[in-house]
A and B are shown apart, each in its own frame.
Chain A
Amino acid sequence: MPLPADILPAAAVSARRGGNRGDRLYHAALQLLGGAVLAVAGLVLLELADVAAPAARRLGLGFLWRNDWDPVSGAFGALPFVYGTLVTSAVAIALALPVSVGLALFLSEMGPRRLRPVVSFAIEVLAAIPSVVYGLWGLFVLVPVLRDWVQPALARALGFLPLFQGPPIGLGYLAAGVILAVMILPTVTSVTIEVLRTVPASLREASLALGATRWEAIRMAVLPFGRAGIVGAALLGLGRALGETMAVTMVIGNSPEIHASLFAPGYSLPAVIANEFAEATGEVHLGALAALGLVLFGITVLLNGAARLLVAAVARGSARSAR
C-alpha cells in the first residue's frame, strides 16, 4: 500500500519535539491497515454472496442438505462436499494429533538432545513442500500403497465396521485424509510445542519429586495442564485441512457422492470449487459454487474461533497458576 512519502519524516520530526504527533500518525496508520484487512474480508464475503444470490433464490435452504450434485440436470446439493471435507479433515486430525503430540514431547521433553534439531528440521521441510507436490506423491506413492496393502489389511482386521468396507481402490477419503494428516503435522506439532512451553516447570518437579518417571510426569502433570491447548492445536490443524485444495483434489476421487466407507471416492468443498468454477455453465451453477465457498468460509470461521478461544483459555490458566 503506497504511504504518503512525507509521513515518516514528519513523524520523526515530531518525535523529537515531543512524540505525540508521531505516535498518533503511527496509530492511525496501523488502524488503517487493520481496517483494510477487515474491509477486504468483508468485500470478499459480499462479492461471494452477490454471485451466490441467484442460486440461493432458485435452490433455497434445501441446497445445504441435498445430497446430489448434477449441474447438467440442475441438481445442486452441498452435502456430498460438506461431508467429504469434514470426513477427510477428521481422518487427518485423528492421524496427525497423536503423532504431533508425540513429536512435540520428543522435541521439547524427552528426545535425545542431539536428535532434536534433525527432527525439527524435517518437520520444517514438511511445512515447505508445495501442496501440488503432496498431491503427486499421493497419486504415485500413497494411493498404490493404500490400495495394495493398507486397505486390504484394514478390511481384514476391521472389516466389520462400515468405515472399512468396499473395494480397495486407493483414491478416496482415506487417501485424502492421510495426505492432509502429513500436511497439517507441522502446524499441530509447533502449536503443541508452544502449549507445552506454558506448562510451569514446578508441576513437572512436583511429579518427579513424588517418584514419577519422566513419562509419568508428562501423563500426570504436563498433558492434563495442556489439554485445552492441545485441542486448540488440533482445531488449528483442522482449519488448515478444511481449506486445502490441490492435494485433496488429486487423490479424493472427485465423485460427488456420500459413502460410509473411507475406501470410497468422494469430493470436498475446495476441490469442487476449483474443478468446476472455470467451466461453470449458467448463473445457478456459478452461484451454487459461490454458495459452497460461503459454507466453507463459515465452517472455517467457526473452527478458528473455537481454536483461538481454547488456546487463550490455556494461556490464562497458566498465567493463573504461575502466580
Chain B
Amino acid sequence: MDAPANKISVQGLKAWFGKNEVIHGASLDIPDRSVLAIIGPSGCGKSTFLRCLNRMHELTPGAGSSGKMLLDDRDLYAASVDPVELRRRVGMVFQRPNPFPTMSIARNVSAGLRLNRVPGDHAEVVERCLRQAALWDEVKDRLDAPATGLSGGQQQRLCIARALAVEPEVLLMDEPASALDPIATAKVEDLIHELKQRYTIVIVTHNMQQAARVSDRTAFFYLGELVESGPTEKIFTNPSEQRTEDYVTGKFG
C-alpha cells in the first residue's frame, strides 16, 4: 500500500433528532493513527458526528442517521455489527469528566475489563493505563481511594485511562479539555501526542490553538454542514472556503 490506510471513512452522513436534521451529508476520511480535530461553533453538530462514530447517537429516543460509515473498510451500521461490541473498539471521553463515583480509582480504570469479564485482578492494566494517561504518579499511593476525590483534570485523565483499558482502536474525545484549567489542558494535549502513536483519535474542540497544536487533520462544521476538511496546516493557513477562513481567523463563531 502506498497511501496510509484509512481507519475511518464517512460518506454522506446525515443525522437527525426526530424531524430535525442536524448533519446534512458529511464525507471525510480519517487515516490510521492520526488525530482529526473537529472545530465549529456550538450547535453545529460536532458532538452528534462523534456520537455517530460509536453509535451512541442512536440511543437517544427518536435519533437516527443515514449514510455510510466504514471502520477498517467495514460498515459500522451493517446488521451484523453489534453496537455494544463496536463501542469496545471505539472508546469515548466526554466533555465533563464522568468517573463512576461509587468506584475507587483502580476500579474505575478496570471497569471495562470487568464488563468484558476479563479474569484477574487487572493491576498491571490499571498501572499501564494510568501511566499512559499521565496520572500514575499522582494516584499510585491511593488507588483504592474514591475517584471523586480527584481534581477535575485528574478525573478527566482517569476517564481517558478508563477508555484505554479496553484497548480501543479509536478514541473519540468530545471537548475533553473544556472543563479544565490550562495546566491540566496542557497535560491532556501532551497525552494526545503520545496516544496517536497507537490510536486513531478524533477530538472535538472549541479552541482553535488546541486544534492547531494537536491534530494532523481538521474538519470544520458549520450549521450541520461539513464545510471543509483537510490537513490542519492547510485549514489554518490556506483554507479553500471563505467561511473556514472567517472562522479560523475569529471573524465569527
Q: Contact between A203 and B84 (Cβ–Cβ < 8 Å)?
A: no
* Chain B residues in the interface with A (C-beta under 8 A): 54, 56, 59, 61, 84-88, 91-92, 94, 96, 98-103, 111-112, 115-116, 148, 159, 162-163, 166
Q: Contact between A211 and B102 (Cβ–Cβ < 8 Å)?
A: no
From residue B229, how far is it (CB to closest CB) to chain A in Å?
24
Q: Contact between B94 and A202 (Cβ–Cβ < 8 Å)?
A: yes
Q: Contact between A321 and B115 (Cβ–Cβ < 8 Å)?
A: no
Closest partner residue, chain A, to B114 (CB atom): A220
Interface residues of A in 112-154 (CB under 8 A from B): 113
Q: Contact between A221 and B100 (Cβ–Cβ < 8 Å)?
A: yes
Q: Contact between A203 and B98 (Cβ–Cβ < 8 Å)?
A: yes
Interface residue? A54 (CB, 8 A): no
From residue B88, how far is it (CB to closest CB) to chain A in Å?
4
Q: Contact between B115 and A220 (Cβ–Cβ < 8 Å)?
A: yes
| Cross-chain pairs A/B with CB under 8 angstroms, 6 sampled | A207-B111, A207-B115, A212-B115, A220-B115, A221-B100, A227-B102
* CB contact under 8 A between A205 and B87, given known A220-B111, A317-B101: no
Q: Contact between A216 and B115 (Cβ–Cβ < 8 Å)?
A: yes
Q: Contact between B166 and A211 (Cβ–Cβ < 8 Å)?
A: yes
Q: Contact between B94 and A213 (Cβ–Cβ < 8 Å)?
A: no
Interface residue? A200 (CB, 8 A): yes
Interface residues of A in 218-235 (CB under 8 A from B): 220-221, 224-225, 227
Task: Across the A-B interface, give the 9 residue pairs with the lowest CB-CB distance, nearest first.
Answer: A211-B88, A209-B92, A202-B98, A224-B102, A210-B112, A211-B87, A321-B101, A206-B98, A213-B84
Contacts of A225 on B, CB cut-off 8 Å?
Answer: 101-102
Contacts of B148 on A, CB cut-off 8 Å?
Answer: 320-321
* Distance A320 CA – B147 CA, assembled complex (angstroms): 13
From residue A310, how far is it (CB to closest CB) to chain B in Å?
15
* CB contact under 8 A between A206 and B100, given known A211-B115, A213-B84, A321-B148: yes
Which residue from B100, B101, B112 sits with its C-beta under 8 Å from A211?
B112
Interface centre among A113, A207, A317, A320 (most CB of B within 10 A): A207
Q: Contact between B84 and A211 (Cβ–Cβ < 8 Å)?
A: yes
From residue A320, how far is it (CB to closest CB) to chain B in Å?
7
Contacts of B116 on A, CB cut-off 8 Å?
Answer: 211
Interface residues of A in 229-282 (CB under 8 A from B): none
Q: Contact between A208 and B115 (Cβ–Cβ < 8 Å)?
A: no
Q: Contact between B100 and A209 (Cβ–Cβ < 8 Å)?
A: no
* CB contact under 8 A between A205 and B56, given known A210-B115, A212-B84: yes
Contacts of B54 on A, CB cut-off 8 Å?
Answer: 209
* Distance A221 CA – B157 CA, assembled complex (angstroms): 19
Closest partner residue, chain B, to A318 (CB atom): B101
Which residue from B61, B85, B87 sits with its C-beta under 8 Å from A208?
B87
* CB contact under 8 A between A202 and B96, given known A208-B59, A210-B163: yes
* Distance A220 CA – B94 CA, assembled complex (angstroms): 18
Q: Contact between B56 and A208 (Cβ–Cβ < 8 Å)?
A: yes
Which residue from A203, A227, A317 sits with its C-beta under 8 Å from B100?
A203
Interface residues of A in 6-36 (CB under 8 A from B): none
Q: Contact between A210 and B87 (Cβ–Cβ < 8 Å)?
A: yes
Contacts of B102 on A, CB cut-off 8 Å?
Answer: 221, 224-225, 227
From residue A111, how far is it (CB to closest CB) to chain B in Å?
13
* Distance A317 CA – B159 CA, assembled complex (angstroms): 20
Q: Contact between B159 and A210 (Cβ–Cβ < 8 Å)?
A: no
Q: Contact between B56 and A220 (Cβ–Cβ < 8 Å)?
A: no
From residue B145, how far is it (CB to closest CB) to chain A in Å?
15
* Distance A104 CA – B148 CA, assembled complex (angstroms): 27
Q: Contact between A206 and B94 (Cβ–Cβ < 8 Å)?
A: yes
Q: Contact between B96 and A220 (Cβ–Cβ < 8 Å)?
A: no
